[in-house]
Amino acid sequence: MNFTLLINEGPYQHQASDTAYQFAKAALEKGHEIYRVFFYNDGVNNATRLAIPPQDDRNITENWAALAKEHELDMVVCIAAAQRRGMLDADEAGRQGKDADNIHPAFRISGLGQLVEGGIQADRLLTFGD
Amino acid sequence: MNFTLLINEGPYQHQASDTAYQFAKAALEKGHEIYRVFFYNDGVNNATRLAIPPQDDRNITENWAALAKEHELDMVVCIAAAQRRGMLDADEAGRQGKDADNIHPAFRISGLGQLVEGGIQADRLLTFGD
Amino acid sequence: MAKLHIVNKSPFERNSLKSCLGKSKEGSTILLIEDAVVGALKGTVVADDLSSAIANKNVCVLGSDLNTRGFTEAEILDGIKIVDYAGFVDLVAEHSNVQSWL
Amino acid sequence: MAKLHIVNKSPFERNSLKSCLGKSKEGSTILLIEDAVVGALKGTVVADDLSSAIANKNVCVLGSDLNTRGFTEAEILDGIKIVDYAGFVDLVAEHSNVQSWL
Amino acid sequence: MSEGIKKFMFMNTKAPYGTVYALESLEVVLISAAFDQDVSLAFCDDGVFQITDNQKTDGSGMKNFSAAYKALGDYDINKIYVEKESLEERGLTMDNLMKLTYEDEDDDWAEKTSMYLVTRAELADLIDEQDVTISS
Amino acid sequence: MSEGIKKFMFMNTKAPYGTVYALESLEVVLISAAFDQDVSLAFCDDGVFQITDNQKTDGSGMKNFSAAYKALGDYDINKIYVEKESLEERGLTMDNLMKLTYEDEDDDWAEKTSMYLVTRAELADLIDEQDVTISS
């Protein structure tokens, strides 16, 4: 079976991203597939490559990146939500005339259609939010 | 009379930063002073200089920056909360070996002591959160 | 000197207004802002709680947040005062401390 | 095929469990995760609501979130089943749709 | 369900403006129209405040997005369910809400309502029929 | 109030782990100890869950910060108020909570409790005495 996961809250402030990560790991361990992980609302903030959490705490972005690498996960950040909140990749920063970018290479930026398509293609869509 | 404002939520996701901004503007118009605006929790995300909100929407960071310039506001971002969430200035990025930074020059990074001191020095401390 | 209590969440969704009403003293002021303004409407399931509060506390609502949500003075409970941001500032100045019930 | 309903907020703070109980059908499953796990405790003001739900729905709680908050199986209502993340995954697979009550 | 068509329900349970969920959920709804699925919207709990009439944001500086709900009919999204008990608990009736309509192409483009007042039990039945439920 | 000393109360009303507020509020509390103010903590509503005993986060992967509450005594923060009604509504008693103590330097470093069980009305009185209330 395959799942699309929708994550609507940023890292640390809410448990949503942690729960989604633990769920994804357990699903993959049981042999299921993750069709897509879609980051929306403040969820886009999970994609920053600039975070430096305390050494005795988890690094949520790196956890996702490692899981994605191991299982070739498609991790999509909503472009509109990301622009509103200052999350940019190098292409976007160039196009918008911004002098820096901050998105981790494990994530890709795309439109909301990717969420709807994820709901159509996957057997189940799960929302993790506040 | 002077006020310290504590902002605990990021821009757009919650109204907290908008309300604090409208309050600050009204207080200054009435002749009060803002001793400090302290950004904590996800509130640190208000300090990004990379946001590109839709053209028909407010730009929360630029609103704060303009108000700060006009009234010489002291806008402080908590360093620990900012590091956890990937908000860095150029100094921090250099020290931490990160390849980019994203904090708007209208804000400065400092420690939590600045919040407690703000509570001691100001006549009133107000919290804006979720 | 009396205290100002601020509530910003809908009483239909959260317990923060109830918590505030239970832990604020007679003579204090309660200001409803953001999503909490709908607590001031007539005919709701929390109207009785608000009416009890009005009897011995000053209850205010931020007018611009009320308008933002599609409501006006005509639709709120008698005894609740509408303030603008300047009035919000005055309330903070006139009370000796402010507690936000988040 | 029955539906899975997920609640993640404390029923003492938010109305989402109540909303879920009112809009989920008999035979469906309700899973409490994150801050909602405290709704499964014995002797609380929402215990009667949960007990009614247990009568005609399957109520589960995520064990690791319960332990995180300092509680174990001994402290939750009879009839509520504890699942781990693997069990959470099974619940999602066994039901035809999942609704998160945010 | 019909071949390749899924029933999508957008559950709107939160008040607008205090948080961004209503606005950003509406953006998903509008995009979903392009995918030819069976889309409906439910407004319950504080979600009913999303579609109150006469929203005026000048004083708060928030972005007024309420007009976008009126465009739903143009996107062929015309199944909008409002929970009766949620209105009553909040002292509201359908008269407090915007009139959301669509033009029926099978009936000489007559303007018809998109809004259905449903009881909590009826909404529970509708939720139970969905293939995908996106909530906020 | 004493010259230059303010009464600071940290109001803890939210459950831990589901949101970060409890953890980041505790960081402010620890910093505040350096400023020689009159600091107290209140735990009410879901805030009482912040100081439950036996928190074990291995399964959830969350950072377990509960031990830091036990360090409050070392920072001379020893006025911790717990609301009785909040415990009762949640089926809890003081036995469910960690034992937070301090060593009294005026009494030969005897270990004493920092925790005071107060009624809602008593907590309202305490709140009313504060100069600064930081809530989360």
The answer to whether the CB atoms of A120 and E136 lie below 8 A apart is no
Q: Between F18, F61, F63, which is nearest A14 by CB?
A: F18
For chain F, say whether D65 makes contact (Cβ under 8 Å).
yes
- Judge contact between A75 and A109, C-beta under 8 A: no
Pairing of strands E7-12, E132-135: parallel
Q: Which domains does chain E have, with CATH numbers?
A: 7-135 (3.40.1260.10)
Band of residue C1 on the pLDDT scale cut at 50, 70, 90? confident
- Residue C49, min C-alpha distance to chain D (Å): 17
Residues in E closer than 8 angstroms to A119, CB to CB, are 6, 8, 132, 134
- Judge contact between C21 and C42, C-beta under 8 A: no
Contact: chain F with chain E (3+ CB pairs below 8 Å): no
Looking at residue B11, which CATH number applies to its domain? Answer: 3.40.1260.10
How many domains, chain A?
A: 1
Residues in E closer than 8 angstroms to D22, CB to CB, are 85, 120, 124
| pLDDT (tens digit per residue) in E28-67 | 999 999 999 999 999 999 999 999 999 999 999 999 999 9
Farthest CA pair distance, chain D: 35
Q: Other C-beta atoms within 10 Å of E2: how many?
A: 8
Sheet holding A2-7, edge to edge: A108-110, A75-78, A33-39, A2-7, A124-128
Question: Which among E89, E19, E13 is positioned nearest to E51, based on CA atoms?
Answer: E13
Catalytic residue numbers of A? 78
Strand partners, A77: A39, A109
Q: Which of B27, B73, B77, B78 is catalytic?
A: B78
The answer to whether the CB atoms of D45 and F18 lie below 8 A apart is no
Task: Label residue B4 left, alpha or beta by phi (over 0 means left) and psi (-120 to 50 means alpha).
Answer: beta
Contact: chain C with chain A (3+ CB pairs below 8 Å): no
The pTM for the full model equals 0.98
What torsion do the CA atoms of B24, F28, F12, F56 make, to the nearest 10 degrees?
A: 140
Tell me the domain boundaries of chain D.
Answer: 3-101
Report how far apart, in Å, the C-alpha atoms of B129 and of each of B6, B40, C70, E33 are.
8, 10, 23, 35
| pLDDT (tens digit per residue) in A43-61 | 999 999 999 999 999 999 9
Report how far apart, in Å, the C-alpha atoms of D8 and of each of A56, B113, D38, D71 are.
26, 34, 10, 16
- Judge contact between C65 and C84, C-beta under 8 A: no
Question: Which among D75, D74, D24, D84 is positioned nearest to D54, based on CA atoms?
Answer: D24
For chain A, say whether D33 makes contact (Cβ under 8 Å).
yes
- Residue B39, min C-alpha distance to chain F (Å): 12
Q: Cα separation of D73 and B31, whole Å?
A: 58
Residue by residue, DSSP assigns B16-71 as HHHHHHHHHHHHHHTT-EEEEEEE-GGGGGGGBS-----TTS--HHHHHHHHHHHH
CB pairs under 8 A between A and E: 45
Residue of B nearest to F31 (CA): B113
Looking at beta carbons, which pairs linking B88-96 to residues 24 or more positions away fall under 8 Å? B88/A50, B88/A52, B93/A50, B96/A52
Band of residue E2 on the pLDDT scale cut at 50, 70, 90? very low
Sign for the CA dihedral angle at B69, B71, B72, B76 comes to negative
The answer to whether the CB atoms of F18 and D35 lie below 8 A apart is yes
| pLDDT (tens digit per residue) in D28-53 | 999 999 999 999 999 999 999 999 99
Which tokens hold the place of D48?
A: 């009667």
Residue F109 DSSP one-character state: T
Q: Other C-beta atoms within 10 Å of F5: how many?
A: 13
Q: In residues, how long is chain F?
A: 136
Q: Between F85, F124, F130, which is nearest C97 by CB?
A: F130
Q: Other C-beta atoms within 10 Å of B54: how many?
A: 11
CB pairs under 8 A between B and C: 48
Give the domain range for residue B48.
2-128
Give the ranges where chain F is alpha helix by DSSP (H).
21-32, 67-70, 84-89, 120-128
CA atoms within 13 A on the CB side of D22: 14
**What average pLDDT score do residues C16-22 get?**
97
**What average pLDDT score do residues D63-81 get?**
98
> What is the pLDDT at residue F3?
56
| pLDDT (tens digit per residue) in B43-93 | 999 999 999 999 999 999 999 999 999 999 999 999 999 999 999 999 999
| pLDDT (tens digit per residue) in E77-126 | 999 999 999 999 999 999 999 999 999 999 999 999 999 999 999 999 99
Query: What CATH architecture does domain C3-101 belong to?
Result: 3-Layer(aba) Sandwich (3.40)
Band of residue E1 on the pLDDT scale cut at 50, 70, 90? very low
Give the ranges where F33-95 is alpha helix by DSSP (H).
67-70, 84-89
Which tokens hold the place of D51?
A: 């007990």
Q: Determine what percent of chain A is predicted with pLDDT higher than 90.
A: 100
- Judge contact between A77 and A108, C-beta under 8 A: yes
Q: For A55, phi and psi rounded to 5 degrees?
A: -65, -25
- Helix, strand, coil % in chain C, rounded to nearest 5: 40, 25, 35
Residues in F closer than 8 angstroms to D42, CB to CB, are 91
- Chain E residues whose C-beta is within 8 A of a chain B C-beta are 17-20, 60-63
Which tokens hold the place of E8?
A: 């999508």
> What is the pLDDT at residue F35?
97
- For C:7-36, CB contacts with F below 8 A are 15-16, 19, 22-25, 28
Farthest CA pair distance, chain E: 49
The answer to whether the CB atoms of B18 and E19 lie below 8 A apart is no
**What average pLDDT score do residues D15-27 get?**
97
Residue type, A90: A
**What average pLDDT score do residues A12-41 get?**
98
- Judge contact between C101 and C6, C-beta under 8 A: yes
Which tokens hold the place of C91?
A: 């309330």
For chain E, say whether C67 makes contact (Cβ under 8 Å).
yes
Which tokens hold the place of D59?
A: 């109520």
> What is the pLDDT at residue C20?
98
